[in-house]
Amino acid sequence: MTLKIMQIAFDNGINYFDTAEVYAGGKSEIDMGNAIKKLQWKRSDFVISTKIFWGGKGPNDRGLSRKHIIEGLDASLKRLGLEYVDLVFAHRPDPDTPMHEIVRAFNYVIDKGKALYWGTSEWSAQQIMEAHGIAHKLNLIPPLAEQVQYNMFHRERVESEYEYLFNEFKMGAATWSPLASGVLTGKHNERIAEDSRMALTDNAVMRRLREGLLSEEGRTKIEKVKKLKPIADKIGATPAQLALAWCMKHPKVNTVITGASKPEQMEENLRAVALLPKLTPEFMVEIDKILDNLPPPQFNFRDS
């Protein structure tokens, strides 16, 4: 299934694939690596990233210590069957490891040819700035990109907090969860879809998401999803395609990361690209009125 989905994506112009050491306990990297090998892609024809933080249950198998960054990436490369990844992300910030150790460790794996660049995921603007400051002081490579959650219900960081980073450092944004764990597809409008991940009872993350959706705030989100449906209909899209196209429309978003468990999902997601010209400024304003969550711009004292 992984091979088929990746082939469809590649045939339609997608050349960037993302994974992580924690996904399916490493099996995601194995499956992706096997697919790449069978598809016989030239290494120069695709870009791949992985993320390091949760490598196992042992105390040395998680976090961003120099030890785990080096050993974790080595293990990821072995599972992927690759000599290097194009981009390795710090999957989360690690308050227990000094920032200078983190910056030096990622530069070490770059110097050893195990990665070309490094980035962050779900780091605050302050943490990213700290990493840049240390890298500049030590003449090292700073984080190139941030993998950040971004969707119609989660906008603050991309649209406000990171504004300085985008402008000053030309930081790239690879965004994840464009469908808000499936909420923006509309499949949970009446009840939690039984065939969805959110229906899993033995998964703490999904259980927390499910409880959130059943809360008053969650029901408010569902009502907004219902109000977005007529806009999707007007441009000939499904609610999911509208949500994906909306993410792609943001000028600072370089990549929208979307998953698929079957080929049909990938084909549906791909059709969102053709919707971009249809999302006129008028439609975007209409969407903002429904969402009613536009982040305030960063305050400029010169304007006061």
Of 75 and 205, the one with more pLDDT: 75
Residue 206 and residue 183 in contact, taking contact as beta carbons nearer than 8 Å: no
Q: Is position 227 within any domain?
A: no
The yes-or-no answer on residue 117 being catalytic is no
210 domain-assigned: no
Residue 90 falls inside a structural domain = yes
Task: Judge whether 290 lies within some domain.
Answer: no
HSE on the CB side for 256, CA within 13 Å? 25
Residue 192: the pLDDT is 64
Burial 57-75 (b: 16+ CB within 10 A, else e): eeeebbbbbbebbbebbeb
pLDDT at residue 171 above 90? yes
Give the CA angle between residues 90, 141, 21 to the nearest 5°: 20
User: What Rg, from alpha-carbon coordinates, does the chain have?
Assistant: 20
Tokens coding 112: 């050893």
Instruction: For residue 105, give every residue at least 6 positions away whose Cβ sits within 8 Å of its Cβ, in sequence order, or none.
Output: 64, 65, 66, 69, 70
Q: Where is average pLDDT lowest: 35-39, 96-100, 163-167, 208-212? A: 208-212
Of 19-28, 37-46, 192-201, minimum mean pLDDT range: 192-201
pLDDT in tens, 274-292: 999 999 999 999 999 999 9
Residue 304: pLDDT over 60: no
Longest Cα–Cα distance of the chain, Å, equals: 60
Structural domain count, the chain:
1
Mean pLDDT, residues 117-132: 99
Interval 225-234: pLDDT, tens: 999 999 999 9
Distance CA 134, CA 138 (A): 6
pLDDT at 48 over 90: yes
Containing structural domain, residue 149: 1-185+239-269
Active-site entry in 23, 84, 108, 150: 23
pLDDT of residue 206: 64
Q: pLDDT-derived band of residue 18, with 50, 70 and 90 as boundaries?
A: very high
Q: How far apart are CA 157 and CA 149, in angstroms?
A: 8
Q: Is residue 25 part of a domain?
A: yes
Does residue 286 sit within a domain? no
229 domain-assigned = no
Are 177 and 150 spatial neighbours (Cβ–Cβ below 8 Å)?
yes
Q: Which CATH number do you get for residue 139?
A: 3.20.20.100
Mean pLDDT over all residues of the chain?
A: 93
Residue 84 in domain: yes
Closest CA to 108 of 72, 140, 147, 64: 140
Other CB atoms within 10 Å distance of the CB of residue 155 = 18
pLDDT in tens, 235-270: 999 999 999 999 999 999 999 999 998 999 999 999
